[in-house]
Amino acid sequence: MRKLVATFLISILMLSTTSAIAASPSAKPTPNSTSKPSASSTDKATKKPVVKKKATKKPVVKKKVVKKKKKKRKKLPPLQPVLCFGKSWPPSGFTQNGEVFAKIPTAAQLQCEASDNYKSSKALLRDDLKKCDDFACGTVTVASDTGCTWWEVNSTFERIDLKTGKIEATLGTLRTLSRGTNTKEIQSIMLVSTLRHKDADGKILNNIKASGIEVNCHHDAVPDFTTKNFFTAN
C-alpha cells in the first residue's frame, strides 16, 4: 500500500518591535538656581513575538481501490456424440439389405440415443418417446452406406397374449415418415400408433406390439413432415 506522508506547516508570525524615545526640551539655566535636567523618556516594553499556529489539516488518506479480477471461465470441451451402437462399420447386430441396415434396438440403446444432446435431431426422438406414454409404439434403428434423403417404415400392430405370446388380433397398420440421414449415420425411429394401451388405472398393458417392420431408404425429394405417422385401424 502506498504510504502517504502528511507534512505539517507551522507559520510563525513575527511582530516588529518599535522603541520610541521622547526627549523634553532642556531648561535654560537661571541665575542662583540649578536646574536638574529633566529628561522624560518612555521606554515602551518590547512585546514578545506572538507565535500563531496555523490550524493543521488532518492528512487525507486515500484508500487504494483494488479491482477484482474477473475469473476466466474455463472453456468446456465440445460435446462428443454418444456412441450407443459402437464405432465399427458395418454396425454390429444390424441386418443388412443392400445399402440399408436395420435392427430393433434394446431399451438401453434407445435410452442412450435419446439422451444424446450432441444433435438437435434427438429432440424429435425424445418428443416421440413422450407420446408413447399414451399410445402403443414400436421402434426401429436404421442406417445406410450412402445416406438417405428420408426414411419410410411400414409396420403392423397386433395384440398378443402375454402368457403365451400368441397373436390375439391384428389391430391395424402404420406408415411412418422420418428425416434423412447422412452416410453411415445411425438413427432410431419411433413408430407411434393411435392405439391406447393403458387400463382403467393408468397402467401400461404392454400387450400391443409392432411387427412385420419394413424399412425403405429414399433418395428423392423430401415429403411434408407435418404428420409423420399414418395409422389405419382394421
d(CA 20, CA 22): 6
pTM, entire model: 0.64
- Give the pLDDT score at 16: 37
The DSSP output letter for 84 is: S
For residue 160, the surrounding DSSP H or E stretch is strand 148-160
- For the chain, 234 residues long, give each residue's pLDDT as a single digit of tens: 333 333 333 333 333 333 333 333 433 444 444 444 444 444 555 566 665 666 666 666 666 666 777 777 777 666 566 678 988 898 899 999 999 999 999 999 999 988 866 667 688 899 999 999 999 999 999 999 999 999 999 999 999 999 999 999 999 999 999 999 999 999 999 999 999 999 888 899 899 999 999 999 999 999 999 999 999 999
Helix/strand/coil for 85: coil
| Helix, strand, coil content of the chain in percent (nearest 5) | 10, 30, 60
- Give the pLDDT score at 60: 65
- Give the pLDDT score at 94: 96
- Give the pLDDT score at 48: 64
d(CA 197, CA 207): 8
- Cα–Cα distances in Å, from 9 out to 3, 13, 50? 19, 13, 17
- Give the pLDDT score at 58: 67
- Give the pLDDT score at 107: 92
- Give the pLDDT score at 74: 75
Among candidate residues 176, 170, 139, the one with its CA nearest the CA of residue 156: 170
- Give the pLDDT score at 49: 63
- Give the pLDDT score at 2: 36
What domains appear along the chain, each with residue ranges and CATH number?
95-233 (2.60.40)
173, 154 contact by CB (below 8 A): yes
- Give the pLDDT score at 105: 95
211, 160 contact by CB (below 8 A): no
- Give the pLDDT score at 149: 97
d(CA 52, CA 10): 8
